[in-house]
């Protein structure tokens, strides 16, 4: 029995490698990285993070999340038909072609699946497996689909809370009044490979397990779920705005999970359908709140009268070793007061070129000093991106 269990797990793992969504997700992550690098080069004449950072942020956090979800789904014995999984993968693949990560939020993918379930006609093809998939889709369990959505929403909230704040891409633009302002954009997808149970010949049912599924036998399938996220903000630091959105989504996920469990145990497909629709509506509402905050609140990153504001720090540069943070204001360079990026570079050149001492004001208004020796093979411009910068780091 144990040998059969691990044999089916291995087969389920190998099936991942023939799933086109798996490769599409990797391609999408790489292309998003290429687009980000091009945008950064257009704005600053250099990239802040390399394109492989996007691939890393897609795979590693998603893999960890997928392990947690797999333990949950296998533990409770959650089951979906093969046709329903094929439908979800087809929708994910098609939405990925738009290269818009926000379309890949689980609530939208599963809502589209519900529409397909309701409006899919009784097709008859010359391929038996396609006919079986069509029957599976038509017989999709709405409570199980709602439960899947609520768990994926938890995964989405977790990834937004703990991963979306990492490696935000800085932006520089002009406000409606013509002022130079800064902001941050995050465009990210997470590849979350998750084991599910699928009806079919394989392992025999064990008493009460699996709970969420019918049939006397089943097999394992590693499903590459893809979760997308896009966030643009100008009124606060990325770590604060993404955490706020993640907390809001967590509340929605908790309510959805409670309703989905109720719909499963009492077999209430109508409750599941309404829950899926409301979950999507709440996700759209959260998108609206984030956009409204950008519109209503003052710019966090703008030109200063008493110094220059740091918009971002380039990794692996002298500035990255000086404990400087985005949003902080540099008032003096080696004792020389500055009010613009040009004065910053001029003060750095006129003073001791082998040493850099900065007077910095943090977001709480407290003054501190950061200093570092500069060596002959290091560029004197440190690796800082300012909100208003007339001269770029090369």
Q: 303-386: what fold? A: Pdz3 Domain (2.30.42)
Report the 10 Å Cβ neighbour count for 138: 17
Question: Do strands 169-174 and 336-337 pair parallel, antiparallel, or not at all (unpaired)?
Answer: unpaired
Q: What is residue 392's predicted lDDT score, i.e. its pLDDT?
A: 43
pTM for this structure?
0.92
C-alpha–C-alpha distance, residues 228 and 209, integer Å: 32
Q: Work out the burial of residue 383: count CB atoms within 10 Å of its CB; fewer than 13 is exposed, 13-18 middle, 19 or more buried.
A: buried
C-alpha–C-alpha distance, residues 97 and 247, integer Å: 29
Question: Do strands 367-373 and 355-361 pair parallel, antiparallel, or not at all (unpaired)?
Answer: antiparallel
Helix, strand, coil abundance in the chain, percent, nearest 5: 50, 20, 25
Nearest to 146 by CA among 289, 18, 274: 274
C-alpha–C-alpha distance, residues 245 and 368, integer Å: 31
Coil/strand/helix, residue 287: helix
Task: Write out the H or E segment, with its range, that includes residue 371.
Answer: strand 367-373
Give the CA count within 13 Å in the CB-facing half-sphere of 315. 9
C-alpha–C-alpha distance, residues 205 and 211, integer Å: 10
Report the 10 Å Cβ neighbour count for 117: 19
* pLDDT tens across the length of the chain (394 residues): 678 788 889 999 999 999 999 999 999 999 999 999 999 999 988 889 988 899 999 999 999 999 999 999 998 889 999 999 999 999 999 999 999 999 999 999 999 999 999 999 888 888 899 999 999 999 999 999 999 999 999 999 999 999 999 999 999 998 888 888 999 999 999 999 999 999 887 787 777 777 766 667 889 999 999 999 999 999 998 889 999 999 999 999 999 999 999 999 999 999 999 999 999 999 999 999 999 998 899 999 988 888 999 999 998 888 888 889 999 999 999 899 998 888 888 888 776 667 788 999 998 889 999 988 876 555 446 788 998 765 443 3
C-alpha–C-alpha distance, residues 370 and 358, integer Å: 5
Chain CA centroid to CA 297, Å: 24
Q: What is residue 391's predicted lDDT score, i.e. its pLDDT?
A: 42
Nearest to 172 by CA among 315, 310, 288: 310
Whether the ω angle into residue 342 lies within 30 degrees of 0, i.e. cis, is: no
Domain limits of the chain?
2-296, 303-386
User: In the structure encoding, which two tokens stand for residue 335, read together?
Assistant: 């004792």
Q: What is residue 11's predicted lDDT score, i.e. its pLDDT?
A: 92
Give the CA count within 13 Å in the CB-facing half-sphere of 310. 26
Task: Report yes or no: 383 and 320 within 8 Å, Cβ to Cβ.
Answer: yes
> DSSP states of 300-354 as a string?
SEE--SSSEEEEEE-TTSGGGGTT--TT-EEEEETTEE-SSHHHHHHHHHHS-TT
Q: What is the CA radius of gyration of the chain?
A: 25
The length of the chain, given as a count of residues: 394
């Amino acid at each position: 029995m144990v040998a059969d269990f691990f044999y089916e797990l291995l087969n389920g793992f190998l099936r991942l490698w023939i799933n086109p969504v798996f490769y599409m997700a990797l391609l999408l992550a790489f292309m998003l990285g290429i687009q980000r690098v091009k945008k950064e080069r257009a704005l600053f004449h250099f990239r802040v993070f390399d394109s492989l950072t996007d691939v890393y942020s897609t795979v590693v956090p998603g893999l960890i999340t997928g392990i947690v979800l797999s333990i949950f789904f296998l533990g409770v014995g959650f089951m979906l038909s093969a046709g329903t999984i094929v439908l979800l993968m087809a929708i994910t693949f098609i939405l990925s072609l738009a290269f818009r990560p926000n379309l890949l939020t689980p609530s939208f993918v599963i809502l589209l699946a519900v529409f397909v379930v309701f409006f899919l006609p009784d097709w008859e093809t010359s391929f038996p497996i396609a006919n079986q998939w069509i029957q599976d889709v038509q017989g999709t369990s709405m409570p199980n689909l709602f439960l899947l959505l609520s768990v994926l929403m938890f995964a989405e909230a977790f990834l937004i809370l703990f991963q979306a704040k990492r490696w935000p891409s800085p932006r520089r633009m002009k406000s409606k009044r013509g002022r130079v302002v800064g902001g941050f954009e995050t465009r990210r997808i997470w590849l979350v490979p998750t084991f599910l149970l699928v009806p079919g010949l394989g392992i025999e049912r064990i008493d009460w397990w699996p709970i969420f599924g019918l049939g006397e036998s089943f097999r394992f399938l590693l499903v590459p779920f893809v979760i997308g996220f896009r966030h643009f903000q100008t009124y606060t630091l990325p770590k604060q705005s993404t955490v706020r959105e993640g907390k809001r989504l967590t509340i929605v996920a908790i309510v959805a999970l409670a309703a989905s469990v109720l719909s499963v145990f009492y077999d209430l497909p109508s409750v599941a359908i309404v829950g899926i629709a409301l979950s999507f509506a709440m996700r759209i509402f959260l998108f609206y709140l984030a956009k409204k905050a950008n519109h209503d609140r003052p710019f966090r990153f703008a030109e200063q009268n008493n110094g220059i504001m740091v918009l971002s720090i380039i990794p692996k540069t002298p500035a990255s070793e000086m404990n400087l943070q985005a949003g902080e204001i540099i008032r003096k360079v080696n004792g020389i007061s500055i009010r613009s990026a040009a004065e910053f570079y001029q003060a750095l050149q006129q003073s001791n070129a082998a040493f850099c001492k900065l007077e910095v004001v943090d977001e709480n208004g407290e003054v501190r000093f950061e200093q570092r020796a500069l060596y002959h093979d290091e560029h004197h411009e440190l690796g800082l991106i300012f909100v208003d910068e007339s001269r770029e780091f090369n």
